[in-house]
Structure 1
Amino acid sequence: MRILLVEDDPLLGDGIRAGLRQQGFQVDWVRDGEAAQRELRGEPFAAAVLDLGLPGVDGLEVLRTVRLAGVELPILVLTARDAVPDRIRGLDIGADDYVVKPIDLDELGARLRALVRRSHGRPREQIRAQDIVLEPASRTVYRLGMPVTLTNREFDLLHVLMLNAGRVLSREQIEQHLYSWGQEVESNAVEVHIHRLRSKLGAELIRTVRGVGYVLLPRVKQDESSASIRMRVLAWRQR
C-alpha cells in the first residue's frame, strides 16, 4: 500500500516513514506544500498523511487545492493544532481523519488501513474474495481457513488486487501501487509475483485479460470462458 507523507520536520518525518514501512506501507516523502500538491495530483497513492504546518503553502491550502482539483484519495491530517475549530475546519475542507501530535505509529497505521478500506467500500477489517481471506493489520492470508505464507511483495500485490476486485489493473498500475520512489522494478516482476500467487492460492484466483492487465474476480465459475470474463469485467468497469 503506497502512502504519501507530507512532513517538513526531518526527524519526525524519518520516524513516521520508518514506522509505517515496518507495518508494510510503501512511503514516499515530500517536505513542502508545493511538492505535495504536485505529487497528489500526479501519483496513484492509496492515501496521504498531511502535516498542516508546512513551509510555503500550508497544509490546509494543499488540502483545499487538491480537493478542488478532484483528488479523492483519503487524506489524514497530522497536526499540532489540537483546538476543536481547527479540526472542524480541516474536516470541512476535505480531510478524512485527524491525528494530533505526538502520535502513536501503530494508531496511525491502523487509521490509514481503515481509510483505505473504506475508500474501496470495504468497512470490515478482513478482505474476502472467493475462498481467500486477507487481514491487512496482521498481514496474514488464509485459503479455506488455512494460513498461506506469502512474501511481502506477494502480500502487497494480493492486497491491491483484492481491494480492486472486479477491476482490471494494468502492469503499470500495479507497479505504481507496489513500489515507492527509487525502488528498482524488474521488467517481469509483476508477472513473476502473479505466477507465484497462482501457485499458492489457485490458478483461478487471478485472470489475465490479454492486452489489458490482470483482474481478481470475487467469484469465478469454473466453466466460464475468457471471453465471458472479459465481457463481465468491461461491464463492471462501466458501472
Structure 2
Amino acid sequence: MATLLIVEDDALLLDALTGQLQQLDFSVCTASSVAEATTVLQSQAVDGIILDLGLPGADGMELLTWARTHIAGLPVLILTARDGIDDRIHGLNAGADDYITKPFNMQELQARLQAMLRRARQPAFTQSSSASGGPSTTIGSLQIDHGHRNAVLGGEPLELTQREWELLELLVNRCGEVVTRDDVLAAWRAGPPEPGQAAAAPLNSNALEVYVHRLRRKLDASNLVIRNIRGLGYMLAKPAE
C-alpha cells in the first residue's frame, strides 16, 4: 500500500481527497502548511506528495525545493488553482513530476498518481550524476546529461537539435506518462528560438509532429518507443525489463 502526503490548506478539499484516496487503498497523511509537511517528511517515509502551492506562511514551491534537496526521487504532484502556462512550466522545471489544476477530475488525478508512482518504482529508470558531476537520467540504453544537454544511446552520442533535445528531455522526465502537445509547445515557447531559426517561426502541432518523427528515427536502434496517445499527446513507453 502506497503512502501519500497531501499538503492542502482547504479543510473541505483535504477531507474529501483523503477519503477518496483511502477508498482507493492509499494510506494518507496530511498537512496544511509547509512547516507541517516538512515535519511529516522528517518523521516518516512517504511514497509521494500531492502538493498545493497557495499555502499559508510559505509557498508550496518552498516545500518542493526542500523535498528535491533532502529526499532523492520522491514523486511530487502539484495540485493547484494556478493555471497559467508560466506557473506550470515553473513547477515542472522546479522538479514536480506532474501538475494538475483545480478544479480537477478525480479519475484523472487517480490515473496520474498511479502513473507517477509506477514510474518512481521503474527499475529501468534511474537518476544519478554524469561523469562531469551533473544530474543525468538513464532509461534503457539511453542516458541524458541534463547539465550539458546531451544524450548517449547505446554508448554512441545522439545528434540532437535544440528542439529535439527539449522534446526528449520532457518525454524522459515523464516516462510512462502522457505529455500533452500543449506541454511541449509551452516548454518550447519558454526557451530561446532554435539556432538558425527565426524567432517568429511557428511552433504548432504540425511542427511538433515533424520533431516527433525525427526523434523516433533517432531512437530506432533502441527499445524506446514514443507512442501517440490519441487526442492527448505523446508518451515515452517504459522499456521492457
**TM-score with structure 1 length normalisation?**
0.49
Which structure carries more relative contact order (alpha carbon 8 Å, separation 6+)?
1
**TM-score with structure 2 length normalisation?**
0.49
